[in-house]
Amino acid sequence: MTRYPEGHVFYRRLTHDYRIIVRGEGCRVYDREGCDYIDACGGAFVANLGHGVREIADAMAHQAAHLGYVSGAAFTHEAVEQFASELAALCPGDLNKVYPLTSGSDAIEAALKLARQYWAEAGRPAKQRIIALTPAYHGNTLLALSASAREHYKTYFGGWLVDMIRIPAPYPYRCACGGERPYCAACSGDALEEAIVRTGPEKVAAFIAEPVGGSSTGASVPPPEYFRRVREICDRYDILFVADEVLVGAGRTGTWTAIAQSAVTPDLLVLGKGIAAGYAPLAAVVAPERLLAPLARGSGALMHAQTFSHHPVSCAAGLATIRYLRQHCLVERCASITPHFHHRLSALRSLPYVGDVRGRGLLAGVEFVADKETRAPFKRAEHFAERFVDAALDAGLVVWPNVGQANGTDGDLVMLAPPFVITEAEIDEIVTRFEQALSAPYLRVSRDRVEETKR
Ligand SMILES: Cc1ncc(COP(=O)(O)O)c(C=O)c1O
């Protein structure tokens, strides 16, 4: 273990004991002491192929040896041409132009800028406002953070952020209708239409949403009709629909894009995380030609120049990932193992403090509550999700925490998103380790305190 201020790394967490991981293979990573951890969340919803895939490493080494870098402003190259062409073929409808970048936040910034630049160059410069959901997370750079409803991330940056129009997310565990008909305004799409009408459609550039909730709602699945209604409303009022599939795309929900399951084509699609399976930092905005046409006739470029966009080695990793997924039928495998995954996870519902288990494909959220009847969350000061993550690590299980979803401050959940190569036996092991973590004495101390606060 190591922790700040040892060494010279400016760690992401300055109060955390870091285990030192030395290698990964399949669904497991190993620390310096030889302990194994099942990577049940692919690091951060990233390692979709599993760890240690030689083919991807070889493709990157080959690319680096032949052409490590040229600027996307001056040149194009085989790696980006092939990556874009194979990625475009997987995207729905007319989405066929790929702009590769290096992080999800960066790609969200680019997509939202493109939406605004498109309207400006198409002669409608007043269309500037963005509508986004609460809860939602779209990244941590300033425009992406503005689109996110992650208030504690905004604490020190208030004056620098852009004012977005916020509407409630479809969140069946906590919304008024529970995801059942008749739907509440959040789940029916009425909230979106009301916001557009209230603001004036002539001022709205885009609506951004995740087709299945990511970490902010813990894999909440909207009602099946939701995105068809969103599409209809956006078409009626001339609003661009931006699908943020940074977390849920690249096969995670059992199809290449999650939105494909709603039979809807967004105007802009944003991918990240799993598209190069963690072997290289890679994200992408995928746009239709109709949105690029005004730029091509006008300014001549998307105003989002980045040194490392269109990067040869990252694109080679993305291309090798797409080919590996295809060759080993891993998106199909993700879909076919989904029933076992959700069946085994549903057993967690009977455990203390597990309020809900939900998700789609190899993506699941487990929401913890202090009271299962009333769904009352733990007080934030309990840090239940963070404590659970530590207990899970002690049990050899890596899960992803998120907090604040119940009311903006309180709320604890953890996410599971294992690599697509996970076996049924490994899924069973995840459940066993999860149960073990939840019964850890370390966590029980916290639970007893919560009981006291309830009395
Ligand atoms: C839905 C969604 N969008 C955007 C982002 C930002 O991606 P990155 O962390 O790669 O900048 C994330 C990251 O978790 C995400 O989950």
Q: Which two tokens stand for residue 328?
A: 């080993």
Q: What is the distance in A from the centroid of ligand 1 to the CA of 181?
A: 31
- Position 256 scores a pLDDT of 98
- The dihedrals phi and psi of 74, each to the nearest 5 degrees, come to -105, -35
Q: Which atom of ligand 1 is nearest to the CA of 104?
A: 7
- CB 360 within 8 Å of CB 254: yes
- The pLDDT confidence band at residue 349, using thresholds 50, 70 and 90, is very high
Q: What rounded mean pLDDT belongs to the chain?
A: 96
195-236 pLDDT, tens digit per residue, is 999 999 999 999 999 999 999 999 999 999 999 999 999 999
Q: Which two tokens stand for residue 344?
A: 């085994």
Q: What is the distance in A from the centroid of ligand 1 to the CA of 246?
A: 6
Q: Which atom of ligand 1 is nearest to the CA of 248?
A: 1
Q: What is the distance in A from the centroid of ligand 1 to the CA of 396?
A: 25
Q: Which atom of ligand 1 is nearest to the CA of 245?
A: 1
Q: Is 284 in the pocket of ligand 1 (CB under 6 A)?
A: no
361 burial type by CB count under 10 A (0-12 exposed, 13-18 middle, 19+ buried): buried
- Position 405 scores a pLDDT of 93
pTM exceeds 0.75, yes or no: yes
Task: Give the mean pLDDT of 49-64.
Answer: 98
Q: Is 104 in the pocket of ligand 1 (CB under 6 A)?
A: yes
Q: Is 247 in the pocket of ligand 1 (CB under 6 A)?
A: yes
- CB 353 within 8 Å of CB 359: no
- Ligand 1 pocket test, candidate residues 105, 259, 405, most atoms within 8 A of CB: 105
Q: Is 302 in the pocket of ligand 1 (CB under 6 A)?
A: no
390-417 pLDDT, tens digit per residue, is 999 999 999 999 999 999 999 999 999 9
- The pLDDT confidence band at residue 440, using thresholds 50, 70 and 90, is confident
Picking from 318, 358, 315, 364, the residue whose alpha carbon sits closest to that of residue 80 is: 315
Q: Mean pLDDT lowest for which of 22-31, 67-76, 433-442? A: 433-442
- Token look-up 């999650």 returns 258
Q: What is the distance in A from the centroid of ligand 1 to the CA of 93?
A: 24
**Residue whose CA lies nearest to ligand 1 atom number 13:** 139
Q: Give the pairing of strands 412-416 and 400-403.
A: antiparallel
Q: Give the pairing of strands 283-288 and 95-101.
A: antiparallel
Q: Is 170 in the pocket of ligand 1 (CB under 6 A)?
A: no
User: What is the tally of helices (H) and strands (E) in the chain?
Assistant: 14, 15
C-alpha pair distances (Å), 293 with each of 43, 111, 121, 204, 238 = 38, 15, 9, 20, 17
- The pLDDT confidence band at residue 444, using thresholds 50, 70 and 90, is low
- The pLDDT confidence band at residue 377, using thresholds 50, 70 and 90, is very high
Model confidence at 6: pLDDT above 80: yes
Q: Is 278 in the pocket of ligand 1 (CB under 6 A)?
A: no
78-112 pLDDT, tens digit per residue, is 999 999 999 999 999 999 999 999 999 999 999 99
Q: Which atom of ligand 1 is nearest to the CA of 273?
A: 10
Measured CA to CA, the distance from residue 251 to residue 260 in angstroms comes to 11
Q: Is 400 in the pocket of ligand 1 (CB under 6 A)?
A: no
- Position 441 scores a pLDDT of 77
Measured CA to CA, the distance from residue 314 to residue 101 in angstroms comes to 9
Q: Which residues pair with 38 in a beta bridge?
A: 28, 397
Angle at 140 between CA 168 and CA 224, to 5 degrees: 35
Picking from 404, 450, 397, 455, the residue whose alpha carbon sits closest to that of residue 427 is: 397
Model confidence at 454: pLDDT above 80: no
Q: What is the distance in A from the centroid of ligand 1 to the CA of 138?
A: 5
Q: Which two tokens stand for residue 98?
A: 């790929």
Encode burial over 117-143: b for 16+ CB neighbours within 10 A, e otherwise.
bbbbbbeeeebebbbbbbbbbbbeeeb
Q: Which two tokens stand for residue 395?
A: 């049990």
- Ligand 1 pocket test, candidate residues 12, 112, 273, most atoms within 8 A of CB: 273
Q: Is 216 in the pocket of ligand 1 (CB under 6 A)?
A: no
Q: What is the distance in A from the centroid of ligand 1 to the CA of 352?
A: 31
- The pLDDT confidence band at residue 447, using thresholds 50, 70 and 90, is low
Encode burial over 294-313: b for 16+ CB neighbours within 10 A, e otherwise.
bbeeeeeebebebebbbbbb
Q: Give the pairing of strands 21-25 and 268-271.
A: unpaired
- Position 384 scores a pLDDT of 94
- Position 109 scores a pLDDT of 98
Model confidence at 453: pLDDT above 60: no
Q: What is the distance in A from the centroid of ligand 1 to the CA of 149?
A: 13
Q: What is the distance in A from the centroid of ligand 1 to the CA of 452?
A: 37
149-200 pLDDT, tens digit per residue, is 999 999 999 999 999 999 999 999 999 999 999 999 999 999 999 999 999 9
| Phi and psi based region of residue 424 (left: phi greater than 0; alpha: psi -120 to 50; beta: remaining) | alpha
Measured CA to CA, the distance from residue 186 to residue 426 in angstroms comes to 37
Measured CA to CA, the distance from residue 185 to residue 177 in angstroms comes to 9
Q: Is 168 in the pocket of ligand 1 (CB under 6 A)?
A: no
- Ligand 1 pocket test, candidate residues 106, 140, 216, 246, most atoms within 8 A of CB: 246
- Ligand 1 pocket test, candidate residues 247, 271, 275, most atoms within 8 A of CB: 247
Q: Which two tokens stand for residue 365?
A: 């959220």
Q: Is 139 in the pocket of ligand 1 (CB under 6 A)?
A: yes
- CB 167 within 8 Å of CB 131: yes
- Position 446 scores a pLDDT of 57
Q: Is 214 in the pocket of ligand 1 (CB under 6 A)?
A: yes
- The pLDDT confidence band at residue 264, using thresholds 50, 70 and 90, is very high
